[in-house]
Amino acid sequence: MLANVHALVRTIDILRSPGGCPWDRKQTLESAAHHLQDEAAEVLESAIAGDPAHVREELGDLLFMVCFVTRVLGETLPTDLDDVARRGNEKLVRRHPHVFGDSAARDVEESQARWDAIKAEEKRGLGLDPDGESILKDLPASLPPLHQAYRYQKDAAAVGFDWPDADGVWAKLREEESELRAAVAAGDADAIEHEVGDALFAWANLARKLGVQPDVALRKANRRFRTRFHRVETVFGNDPAAMRAAGLDAMEAAWQAAKRSERDAG
């Protein structure tokens, strides 16, 4: 196993060296990190699609980018893949005393609480003030906004800023719908954008209360739409002009037929 990792690292060294690949040589730490993010998204898409073989393929691409980013970082900071792995392993062991130490955690909540406490202590050791931080974890701007909403609401709920059940969120959704309709009636573009954002935020909160990851649910809905719409297109010979000429009713009939075929196949 390690031999293949070492071979991958050697390949990357050649790609980055003089006489290597021009594309690989021109990558910066920032651009390489963006590619790493893209590959991680590909792994997620494959996992959501339930395609283990594709997950394995994408994990190879992701591992390549982890090694590649490490190589680029090592050109300005003394580090390599072994150093990165060592630091990651030490952090995992340190933050799991209930697994690698003498203590035990009763449940997921206690496990998370211990993780957070140890993380806060680590920050104090670095001269940082964990008590001055918000309960809302810092999230990268590149994170999908629907997932950001989910994470913020989950963090707030951890300190009790939450409805006791989903009924409160349903009421909030009705409130946001009413405010959005009022903004639309007034023709206020800024207010419409504002209220659409609030409505989406509330829907993400409802998903959390129902035990659903909203970004995963939306990814699956996007995939269903794409699959069904492709079937609709085939009905009209993949001809946009024919689709427009057929009209909405004919396309809706083809859409419903696509849904029925999915149910029959399932």
107 shares a domain with 82: no
Distance between CA atoms of residues 147 and 149, nearest Å: 5
**Domain boundaries, position 205:** 157-211
43 shares its domain with 103:
no
What pLDDT is attached to residue 48?
87
Instruction: Give the tens place of pLDDT for each residue, 36-85.
Output: 999 998 999 899 889 999 999 999 999 999 999 999 999 999 999 999 99
Domain boundary among 172, 187, 211: 211
Portion of the chain with pLDDT greater than 70, in percent: 97
Which amino acid is located at 201 in the chain? F
Domain finish residue from 92, 116, 140: 92
- Check: CB of residue 105 under 8 Å from CB of residue 114: yes
Residues 54 and 65 in one domain: yes
Instruction: Kindly state whether residues 83 and 51 are assigned to the same domain.
Output: yes
What the block records as the tokens of 80 is: 């390599």
- CATH code at 9? 1.10.287.1080
> In the listed set 38, 63, 92, which residue is the last one of a domain according to the structure?
92
Residue 121 lies in a domain: yes
Same domain, 233 and 197: no
Buried b (16+ CB within 10 A) or exposed e, 222-240: eeeeeebeebbbebbeeee
**79 contacts: CB under 8 Å, gap ≥ 6:** 70, 73
How high is the pLDDT of residue 101? 84
User: How many distinct structural domains can be found in the chain?
Assistant: 4
pLDDT exceeds 90 at position 208:
yes
